[in-house]
Structure 1
Amino acid sequence: MKVQSVKIDNIPVLIWGEKSDNLYIHVHGKMSSKEYAEDFAKIANSKGIQTLSFDLPEHGERKDNDYRCDIWNGMRDLSAIADYAFSYWKNISLFACSLGAYFSLNTYADRKFTKCLFQSPVLDMEYLIKQMFIWFDVTEERLCIEKEIPTPIDTLRWDYYQYVKEHPIEKWNIPTLILYGAKDNLQSVDVIQKFVKAHDCKLTISQDSEHPFIENEDIKIVRAWLEENI
C-alpha cells in the first residue's frame, strides 16, 4: 500500500492508499501515533478510500516538542488537518479514538463529514476528570489552588477543567457509529448511551472489552467492526 509522508502546518502526517476522491481523517488517542492507523488504512484502501493520519501534540514525532497536548492545541491541529483535507478530497469521513474523539467533537461539529466512526470515545471529559478526582484523591478546590496536579494517567489542569465545564458537547449532526467496551473505566455506559440517544448514533458494545481494545480478541472485534462500517 502506498504511504506518503508530508507535513501540514508542521504537523507530521501520513497519507495512506491509492489516490481517491474519498478520505478518512484518522485521529488517534493518547499514547498512540499516526503509524497506528495502518490496519485501519489497509481496510479503507481495500474499499477505495484513502486515510490521513497525524501525530497529536506530545505524540509520535512530536514527543519532545514544547507544545502541550491540550484542547486548544488539539483543536488548532485538527482544524489545520481538516482545512487541508477538504481542499484536496471530495468525500471526507472521520475516525477518532478516545481523546481524539473528544478533540474532534470540539473541533468538527460544523464540518461536512460523510460519516464518523468513534472507538472508545471520550464523550464527556468532565465525567472523566471527576473520576480522576476520585481515583487520585484530588478535590476541585485543591486543583483551583495548585492549578496543575500530576497523576499516573495525566496532569490535571485547572484551565482545562474550566474549559471542559464551560463547553459541554451539545452539537453533533454527523452520522456516527460507536464501538465501546463495556469494561471501559474512562466513560460509563450511561455517558455513552446518553450521547447515542441525543445524537442518534449507532452503538456497538463489546461486553468483555476494556478501553484500549488491546487483547487479541479485541483486535479481531475492532477489525470486524471496521470492515463492516468503513
Structure 2
Amino acid sequence: MKAQKVKIDNIPAIIWGKESGKAYIHVHGKMSCKEYAENFAEIAEKNGYQTISFDLPEHGERKDGNYRCDIWNGIHDLTAIGNYTFSRWKEVSLYACSLGAYFSLHAYADRNFTKCLFQSPILDMEYLIRQMFTWFQVTEEKLFTEKEISTPVDLLHWDYYQYVINHPIEIWNLPTSILYGGKDNMQSEDVIQKFVEQHNCSLTISGNSEHPFMQERDFEIVRKWLEEFI
C-alpha cells in the first residue's frame, strides 16, 4: 500500500493509504515504531481512512536521541501530530496502544475525534508504577532519594511518578472502544472496568491474551476487533 514518509515538526512519520478526507492517528506503544502501523493501515484503508503513524521519543528513527520518552515529551509530540492531522483531514479518529494510550489521554482529551480505539491501554499509570515497586523491591522513599532507578521493565523517575500522582485521568468524553487481554499484567481488569464505567466505553476482553497480543492466535483477535470497530 502507499506509504509516504514525512517529518511532522521534525518527528519521523508515515502517511499510509490512498487519499481520503478521513484519517486515523496511530500511536504505538513501547518497543514499537511507526512501521508497525502497516497492518492497521491496511484495514483502515479498506474502511476509507488514511493513517498517520509516527515514532515516539526513543523509538524507531529516534532511538539515538537524548529526548526522553516521558509524559511531557509525549504530550508535546502528540499535540504536534494532532495539530498537523486536524488541519489537513476533515474527520480524524485515534488508535493508541499501551503507553501510547496513556499519552493520548493526557494530550487529546479536548480533541474532537470521531472515534477512539485503545488496545491494551495504560489507563492508570500510578497502578503500573506501584506494580513495578512490588516486582523490583523499590519503595517510594528509595525512588525519592535516588530520583532514578533502573528496572527490567523501564527506568523509574521520581519526577514522572509525581506527575502521574498529581494528574489522574478525570476527563475523557470521546467515543472509545477498548481491547484488553485477560492475562495483562500491566493493568488489572478492575482498572479497565472502572475506566469503562466512568467514561462509557465499549470493552472487548480476550481472556487468554497477554498485554502485547503477540501470540499467533492474537493476530486474528486483533484483526476482528479492528474490523468491527474501526
- Fold conserved (TM > 0.5)? yes
The aligned counterpart of 2:228 is 228
Structure 1 residue ranges (4+ consecutive) displaced by more than 4 angstroms after TM superposition = none
What one-letter code is carried by the residue in structure 2 that aligns with 1:113? F
1:184 corresponding residue in structure 2: 184
Distance in 1 of aligned mates of 2:85 and 2:131: 36
Q: Matched residue of 1:171: which SS?
A: coil
CA deviation after TM superposition for structure 1 residue 48, in Å: 1.1
CA–CA distance in structure 1, aligned partners of residues 10 and 33 of structure 2 = 15
If the length of structure 2 is used for normalisation, what is the TM-score? 1.00
Within 5 Å, which residues of 2 pair with 1:143-154? 143-154=143-154
Q: 2:141: which partner in 1?
A: 141
Residue matched to 2:111: 111
2:163 counterpart letter in structure 1? Y
Q: Distance in 2 between matches of 1:212 and 1:13?
A: 22
Instruction: Determine what percentage of the aligned residue pairs are the same residue.
Output: 72
TM-score by length of 1: 1.00
Distance of 1:154 and 1:145 partners within structure 2: 18
| Counterpart residue identity of residue 200, structure 2 | D
What residue identity is the alignment partner of 1:134?
A: T
Distance 2:154 2:131 in 1: 12
Structure 1: gaps spanning 5 or more residues: none
> How far has the Cα of 1:47 moved from its partner?
1.0
Shift, 1:157, TM fit = 0.3
Distance in 1, matches of 2:202 and 2:94, equals 15
Q: Letter of the aligned partner of 2:194 in structure 1?
A: K
Trace 1:36-185 onto structure 2 (pairs within 5 A): 36-185=36-185
Which whole-Å CA distance do the structure 2 matches of 1:228 and 1:40 have between them?
13
Cα shift at 1:113:
0.3
Partner of 2:6: 6
Tell me, in whole angstroms, the C-alpha distance in 2 between the residues paired with 1:49 and 1:207: 30
Give, as a single letter, the amino acid of the residue that structure 1 aligns with 2:197.
Answer: K
